[in-house]
Every structure is written in C-alpha cells, then in structure tokens.
Chains A and B, each alone.
Chain A
C-alpha cells in the first residue's frame, strides 16, 4: 500500500514538474533576452570595437547576411554529428547487451571503455585526420566515440534495472532468454537508453566540431577556425550561436522521439 501511494505521489510530482518545465522555458527566454539587451547596451555605450566583442545586433546581421553558406556548413556538421551519433549509439547499445548477457565480455572490455573515455578527443582527432584526410570519416569517428560512453553506461544500467521479482516471474513462466530480453529487459531499459541518447545528441555536435578544428574544408568548426585567422569575431559568434542552436535542436528531437516511444506513465527519467 505504502509503496503504491508513493508511486502515486511521484507520478503527481512528475506531472506537475512537466507542466512547470513546459511553461518553464519562459523565465529562461526572458533571462536570455535580458542578457542580450545588457550586452547590446554595454557594447554600444562603451564603444567596444566589433573585432573584440560584436554587439548582438551585428551578430544577427552577420547571421542573416551569410545565412545561405552558413546553413550549408551547419548541415555538413550536423550530417557528421548525426552519423557519429547513430554509429556510436548503436555500437554502445550492442555492447551493453553483450555486457549484460556475457559477464566475461564486460570484465574484459569495460576498463577499456573507460580508457577510451579518458583519452581526450582533441588528442585523437589530429591522428584520425592524418589517417583519413579532410574527409567525413574522422569527424564521424570522433562523434561516435564521444557518444559511445554515455549510451553504454545508461543502457547497461537500464538492462540491469530489472527487479528480482520480475525475474522470478519470468522464471516461474519458464521464459526463454530471448523472451526475457524482449519482454522485460529491453522495455525496462528504454527510459535509461533515452537518457543516454539525449546526452549523446548534444555531445555528438561538439565532437564533430572539435574534429573539424583539426582539418576540414567545410563545416561549422572549419568556419570558426577560418574566422579566427581573420579575427572575424562577428562570424565566430554567429557560428557559435548556430552550433549551440543545432545541439539544442538535436537534443529536443531525441526528446520528441522518446516521448513518442515511451507512452506509459512515469516512463521518462529526469524529465527536465
């Protein structure tokens, strides 16, 4: 009884929290507006040179003026990010399934997954560029590497987040391993998987941009590097704003897919 009351209360909290967060973007938007306004006023009032800090209005103008080719670069970066995200997440998911079913694999491979995680990607990126040139490949690999770990850890945890009694229920029904996986482990892991995917989505954009720094002939990272050579801060700010926007959009796309997939109440973890 007590336990069920608690779930009911939690469900209620979740609901309320969801309402507050869905309307909750308003304070955040107001704060951003305020910050932009202050920025604009300070830059204009103090007469800060545009090559040091451009005003928001100038950045906006730059964005609009250069929008056509900036959009092409953004598209290229997002292609790298999404490909890396898909490859990294799928590999991580399969690895997690292996970890959960074959303990030896986990013992053998998990320490190396941590090692992979601790190697700074900025250190691997130039190497990959030497191997694969100014192509798509090193960017996709970097994005995939950066997505791998959060998805691996979350999926492993999710696949294990099965209560003993639920396992006993399956055992009493003499369920086969495949049946336990499809009917119990996989659905109960999905909220965790999506939590990992949301993190991976934003990271993949960062990964592909960082990879572009080390050698590219297009993409947002390339734009930033080129603009920095020319001390074109307006363009740099425009590129930064675009890449951040792209990350946010990717994050929310995953959120929408999650909402469409996980239909049952209380399914989603860390709602905000």
Chain B
C-alpha cells in the first residue's frame, strides 16, 4: 500500500467511540485502519460490536470520542457535506409517500446540480438502475406495496444514482433471501468493478464478506475492537461457485474461529 493510495483513501487513527450517560458504553476502542481508495472492505462481527457505529464515524454522522478520521484528505464531516458518501442503512428507509421511482430519484431532487448525474437523462438512469436490481415494472409502486426484499433493492438503486465515491453499507442485504442476496452481491461487485468506488460493507455473514471483499476486518464485541484483518486471496471476477472451494471454506472457518475465541474471553 503506497502512501499516495492511503492519502486518497480513508484513514482511521485510534478511533474510539463512547456513548455517554451514567453507564457509558464503549462502542469502539482504538480502531486504526487504512482503506485505500477503490478497496472493497468488509467488516464482520457479532451484534453489538460497533459495526454500524464504525460506518457512522466514517461518514461524519457521528463524531468519534477520540481519534481522527480522514477521508480523501478531508475530515469526515467535510467529506459528508461534499456528498462523498452513499449510505445504505439496515432498514431501507424509503419515503412512504413517494413511489419507488420517486424514492430512487430522491437524492437527485435533493442534490440538484450537486449530483454528477443530474440532467434530463436522470430519470432514464433511475429506470435503468431499477431494471438492474430487478425491479422493472415496479417503478410506480409505493413502498408499502413492495416486499421487504424489493424495498432493499429500491434503497440500493437510490444510493447508486448519485455515484458517491464511497459506499457505506450496513447489512444492506440482511433482509433478503439467499438467491436475491447472491444476485445483488454480483450486481454490487459489477457496479464496484466499473465505478471503482470505495466500499465499506458491514455484514453478519463471514461468507458474504469473503466473497465480496479485498480485505475482511473482524471486530470483537463490547468494546468493538479490531481482532484481525484478513486479506482475501481470491482473484476477480469471482464466480458464486467460489464459495464451495476448499480454500474459501478454510478461510471462512479461520475467521469464524477468531470470532468464537474472542467471544469466550
């Protein structure tokens, strides 16, 4: 990793987050990470290990209690106000009064000229993104008329419309069935391969993490700490069958054992 890469990427330096109150909870402790621009980084860990907190700190939604975050040489807050991030939340967070297409177009309506894809063809782009995520024909449906999986896909199309340089994804496909999840994983890799965005992808699934990512960060719970950073050795493009290879299986079990031993201590 050359210094130039790091400078244009995301750097977390001994970041800690403590939620106050009478019984303070340490959500993250001493997290240092260097994520070069264009990397696909997966973050795995059990519930309550601060995965979501980590994404919020990187995106400038949450100020770390200690430590610093720099994104493309700016502070996280600056990067946020420059709309460098696309955030996919655990819940789809769709606006119930907008139809599916309207929800996909929402970032464009808010950003206006700040959206690099803004223009007369934006609606066409939104329709294409909806087709890409398998929602052709559902453009005029309201969110309440869509299944949970379809809502998640609307959220995915919505984040792709403004081509943010960094995608932060908080278990975006957690609510989906396995087949849809596989399909969206491939689509996400496709988007990433073309746009070369930086992706921080939080998931419960070690398999999903290894299949998608260049590196996998393993977090331990309470306090959230980096236990291990594994580099995924598999070349791209990766077929879905990769997951049945012995090497894939052994990496999966190695990471799983890391999580389990830490849970006992």
Binding site for B on A (CB under 8 A): 1, 3-5, 7, 11, 163, 165-166, 168-175, 179, 183-184, 187-188, 190, 262-267
8 Å CB contact of B89 from A5, A165, A183, A263:
A165
> Which residues of B are found within 8 Å of A169, using beta-carbon distances?
87, 89, 93
8 Å CB contact of B175 from A1, A7, A184, A263:
A1
When A and B form their complex, what is the total count of cross-chain residue pairs whose Cβ atoms lie within 8 Å?
73
CB pairs A–B below 8 angstroms (26 shown): A3-B91, A3-B148, A4-B175, A5-B148, A11-B144, A163-B93, A165-B93, A166-B93, A168-B61, A170-B110, A171-B80, A172-B80, A172-B86, A172-B87, A173-B107, A173-B110, A173-B111, A174-B80, A179-B110, A263-B97, A264-B96, A264-B97, A264-B144, A265-B96, A265-B142, A267-B96
Asked if B220 is at the interface (CB within 8 A of a chain A CB), the reply is no
Complexed CA–CA distance, A1 and B171 (Å): 13
Complexed CA–CA distance, A5 and B149 (Å): 11
Say whether, besides A4-B175, A267-B96, A172 and B59 are in contact (CB < 8 Å).
Answer: yes
User: Chain B nearest CB: distance from A117 CB in Å?
Assistant: 31
> Which residues of A are found within 8 Å of B148, using beta-carbon distances?
1, 3-5
User: In the complex the two chains form, is A173's CB within 8 Å of B91's CB?
Assistant: no
User: Chain B nearest CB: distance from A192 CB in Å?
Assistant: 13
User: In the complex the two chains form, is B110's CB within 8 Å of A7's CB?
Assistant: no
| Most interface-central of A3, A170, A172, A267 (chain B CB within 10 A) | A172
> Which residues of B are found within 8 Å of A163, using beta-carbon distances?
93
> Which residues of A are found within 8 Å of B175, using beta-carbon distances?
1, 4
> Which residues of B are found within 8 Å of A264, using beta-carbon distances?
96-98, 142, 144
Say whether, besides A165-B93, A172-B80, A174-B80, A265 and B144 are in contact (CB < 8 Å).
Answer: yes
User: Chain A nearest CB: distance from B107 CB in Å?
Assistant: 6
User: In the complex the two chains form, is B59's CB within 8 Å of A265's CB?
Assistant: no
> Which residues of A are found within 8 Å of B83, using beta-carbon distances?
172-174
Interface residues in B91-121 (C-beta closer than 8 Å to A): 91, 93, 95-98, 106-107, 109-111, 114
Smallest Cβ-Cβ distance to B96: which chain A residue: A264
Per-residue interface assignment for chain B, residues 159 to 176, with 1 indicating a CB less than 8 Å from any chain A CB and 0 otherwise = 000100000000000010
Per-residue interface assignment for chain B, residues 249 to 264, with 1 indicating a CB less than 8 Å from any chain A CB and 0 otherwise = 0000000000000000
User: Chain B nearest CB: distance from A195 CB in Å?
Assistant: 16
Per-residue interface assignment for chain B, residues 123 to 144, with 1 indicating a CB less than 8 Å from any chain A CB and 0 otherwise = 0000000000000000000101
User: In the complex the two chains form, is B97's CB within 8 Å of A172's CB?
Assistant: no
User: In the complex the two chains form, is A171's CB within 8 Å of B110's CB?
Assistant: no
Asked if B5 is at the interface (CB within 8 A of a chain A CB), the reply is no
User: Chain A nearest CB: distance from B96 CB in Å?
Assistant: 5
8 Å CB contact of B61 from A171, A187, A262:
A171
Number of interface residues of B (CB under 8 A): 32
Other than the given A172-B85, A183-B106, A266-B144, 16 more pairs (CB < 8 A) read A1-B148, A1-B175, A163-B93, A165-B93, A169-B87, A169-B89, A170-B110, A171-B80, A172-B59, A173-B111, A174-B114, A175-B110, A179-B110, A264-B96, A265-B142, A267-B97
User: Chain A nearest CB: distance from B84 CB in Å?
Assistant: 9
User: In the complex the two chains form, is A168's CB within 8 Å of B110's CB?
Assistant: no
> Which residues of A are found within 8 Å of B107, using beta-carbon distances?
173
> Which residues of A are found within 8 Å of B147, using beta-carbon distances?
4
5 closest Cβ pairs, A-B complex? A4-B148, A265-B144, A172-B87, A264-B97, A187-B97
User: In the complex the two chains form, is B95's CB within 8 Å of A174's CB?
Assistant: no
Smallest Cβ-Cβ distance to B152: which chain A residue: A4
User: Chain B nearest CB: distance from A101 CB in Å?
Assistant: 18
User: Chain A nearest CB: distance from B240 CB in Å?
Assistant: 22
Complexed CA–CA distance, A266 and B67 (Å): 44
Complexed CA–CA distance, A117 and B89 (Å): 42
Asked if B265 is at the interface (CB within 8 A of a chain A CB), the reply is no
> Which residues of A are found within 8 Å of B145, using beta-carbon distances?
265
Smallest Cβ-Cβ distance to B155: which chain A residue: A169
> Which residues of A are found within 8 Å of B109, using beta-carbon distances?
183
Complexed CA–CA distance, A163 and B80 (Å): 20
Complexed CA–CA distance, A4 and B148 (Å): 5
Say whether, besides A173-B107, A175-B110, A264-B96, A168 and B91 are in contact (CB < 8 Å).
Answer: no
Complexed CA–CA distance, A263 and B102 (Å): 14
Complexed CA–CA distance, A163 and B148 (Å): 18
Asked if B81 is at the interface (CB within 8 A of a chain A CB), the reply is yes
Smallest Cβ-Cβ distance to A265: which chain B residue: B144
User: In the complex the two chains form, is A7's CB within 8 Å of B144's CB?
Assistant: yes
User: Chain B nearest CB: distance from A17 CB in Å?
Assistant: 15
> Which residues of A are found within 8 Å of B85, using beta-carbon distances?
172
Complexed CA–CA distance, A163 and B81 (Å): 21
Asked if B151 is at the interface (CB within 8 A of a chain A CB), the reply is yes
Complexed CA–CA distance, A262 and B106 (Å): 19
> Which residues of A are found within 8 Å of B190, using beta-carbon distances?
none
Complexed CA–CA distance, A161 and B61 (Å): 20
User: Chain A nearest CB: distance from B110 CB in Å?
Assistant: 5
User: Chain A nearest CB: distance from B180 CB in Å?
Assistant: 12
